[in-house]
Amino acid sequence: MKDLIRLLGLFRPYSNWILGGIGLSIIVMLSNIGLLAMSGWFITAMALSGLGNQMINYFTPAASIRGLAILRFTGRYIERLVTHEATFRLLSQLRVWFYEHLEPLAPARLQYYRGGDLLSRIRADIDTLDNFYLRVLAPTIAAAVSIALALGFMAFFSWQVALINLGGLVLAGIALPLLAQRLGRIPGAQAVAIRADLRSAATDAVRGMGELYIYQASARQAEKIRRLSENLIVPQRRQAHINGLSASLTSLATQFSVWLAVLVAIPLVLRHQLSGPDLAMIALFVLASFETVSALPVAFQTLGETLAAARRIFEIIDTPPAVTEPLEEAPPPEHFDIGISKLHMRYRDNEQWALEDVNLTIPEKQRLGIVGATGSGKTSLVNVLLRFWDYQEGEIHIGGHSLRDYRGETVRRWCAVVSQQTHLFNTSIRQNLLLANPDANEEDLLDALRKAHIFDEIMAMPAGLDTFVGETGARLSGGQARRIAIARAFLKNAPILLLDEPTEGLDPASEHAVLQALETLTRERTSILITHRPQALRYVDELVLISKGRIKDHGKTEDILRRNQDVLKLVRIE
């Protein structure tokens, strides 16, 4: 019930569309019942009139039948438009809502989820949630209102028939769906879980195809996917059996209600309490009324799967962020020097310090290099500065203000990041550049490419800026992707620059081009460069040697290299 209430709360912004779709569904259901019942009455009355037994007004019922037919047809068309429009709006709103709650959790809280699992929750589970309106909420409310109005009409002719009709509808619309929902709860939850694992495994196989082949694990991954596919068939087969049984029992309840209603109505006709056409109308009315509950078995069964998907979504949404944002922010700093004093940071309470008693002062527009072995705490320092992770002790100041006085989004606006893992979206170079500055014009883009030393290469491509880079930039070389990231940093024009292994994995020619671009980029910016490459150290003013989370040495680059021969060995080897 709690998950159900939360879902209803998510749908509140589109309540007008939702209520409009439900209202149109009610109109369609009632017009369908009225059309079939009126047609039965009219045909029977015309037959009796032909035998000379009675006189009828031909025009009124004929016009009513035409009107109901037109209402049913147009109502069904408009109802489909409205309900599907509402569904698409809900779907887009749910995706945005989920992403807005997901973004504050990255990367600290999301590291415990597999990428394929997250993708499954963002896409498949959100898609499942839209079933709640289209297949659960709308059919249930429409059925309840339609049944109340239809049985009220039938009670004017015979309250006994109305009670029989009600009993059949309760059996077919509530008892059997509840039984199907209870039987389908476990296989529905199993299907959601297995389907999520299957999507994750398939995603991992596609994205990690190279690694799987290198480690000769592709066959094992394929076997895992095959096993999950077979496991998914089991709950799906159970759901199919439940659906078949529910449909059969619903059909039996429908036919039994019609025959019982006819048996009750016949004595009323014999006692002249009802006419012959009324008997035909009652039989077809009862038969048509079961259309109101025809979608309920699927609705109740879908409810279990929908709530299982909702719980997977809410599990992430309810995760508290790793960083607590301030209620009110401090004024923007007038300068962007960075001060770090007695900083202690670790990722879990029971782990060792990733950063321990770190003290640093980086004046505005100074370039600081950081070297150290893998796992020494270099990237942890960047994570703290970007407000991705919080620190337990000490303090960090930007321009004299505490880092904790600003929201993470605000701090990240002041920072441009270039790392060895450059993410490019599967779209054009132009669109990837505009992520840094959506207001940039054509000249701004071209100027950024020139400063990043990639202008000639981009312009030599047939589509130029409109060249598609492929999934994760697969159509570009590593050096080209890195320089596009540098061009984005130029476009962003942030006062603080964080460079995390920007030349790692590049060939000498690409590394030289990237370093040329970085030399220009780091001018007039407070810059922190993490690197293992000795060629990059010539562009920093001071150098820090970090080891096991502690600063081992700090000073001018030449002095650090002279005092620590192992540093020069470190940057050359790694």
Cα four-point dihedral sign 515, 517, 522, 528 = negative
Question: Do the beta carbons of residue 198 and residue 228 sit within 8 Å?
Answer: yes
Q: What is the pLDDT of residue 337?
A: 94
Go through the chain and tell me how many residues it has: 574
Question: CA angle, 140 as apex, 136 and 144 as ends, to 5°?
Answer: 175
Strand partners, 428: 468
Positive/negative CA dihedral, 457, 463, 465, 466: negative
CB-CB contact of 398 with 338 (8 Å): yes
- The per-residue pLDDT for 245 is 85
List the end-to-end C-alpha distance of the chain, in Å, as a whole number: 56
CA–CA distance, 269 with 277 (Å, rounded to integer): 10
Q: Which residues of 10-46 are buried (b: 16+ CB within 10 A; e: fewer)?
A: bbeebeebbebbbbbbbbbbbbbbbbbbbbbbbbbbe
In order along its 574 residues, the chain shows pLDDT tens digits of: 777 787 777 788 888 888 999 999 999 999 999 999 999 888 888 888 777 666 677 788 888 889 999 999 999 999 989 988 888 888 888 888 888 888 888 777 777 776 666 776 777 777 777 778 888 888 889 999 999 999 999 998 889 999 999 999 999 888 888 887 788 778 877 887 888 788 888 888 887 888 888 888 888 989 999 999 999 999 889 888 888 888 888 889 999 999 999 999 999 988 888 888 889 999 999 999 998 888 887 777 777 778 878 888 888 888 888 888 898 999 999 999 999 999 999 988 888 999 999 999 999 999 999 988 888 888 899 989 999 999 999 999 999 999 999 999 899 999 998 887 888 889 999 999 999 999 999 999 999 999 888 999 999 999 999 999 987 788 888 888 888 989 999 999 999 999 988 887 778 888 888 888 888 888 889 999 988 777 778 888 889 988 889 998 888 877 777 777 665 555 543 4
Strand order across the 401-402 sheet: 355-362, 338-345, 393-398, 401-402
User: What's the pLDDT score for residue 137?
Assistant: 84
Burial of residue 75 (number of CB atoms within 10 Å: 0-12, 13-18, 19+): buried
Domain boundaries, the chain: 12-187+229-317, 338-573
What's domain 12-187+229-317's superfamily in CATH? Answer: ABC transporter type 1, transmembrane domain (1.20.1560.10)
Mark residue 445 as left, alpha or beta (left: phi above 0; alpha: psi -120 to 50; beta: remaining). Answer: alpha
Angstrom distance (rounded) from CA 288 to CA 36: 7
CA atoms of 517 and 454, how far apart (whole Å): 9
Q: What's the half-sphere exposure (Cβ side, CA atoms, 13 Å) at 451?
A: 20
Sheet hosting strand 550-556, strand order edge to edge: 415-419, 496-500, 526-530, 367-371, 542-547, 550-556
pLDDT value at residue 309: 80
Strand partners, 368: 528, 542
Q: Is 399 left (phi over 0), alpha (psi -120 to 50) or beta?
A: left
What does pTM read for this prediction?
Answer: 0.68
pLDDT at site 109: 77
Please tell me the predicted confidence (pLDDT) of residue 487: 92
CB 386 within 8 A of CB 107: no
Q: Which long-range contacts (CB under 8 A, 24 or more apart) does 327-334 make?
A: 329/405, 329/406, 329/407, 329/410, 330/401, 330/402, 330/405, 330/406, 331/401, 333/398, 333/399, 333/400, 333/401, 334/399
pLDDT attached to residue 567 = 58
List the CATH code of the domain at 338-573. 3.40.50.300
Residue-level pLDDT at 574:
40
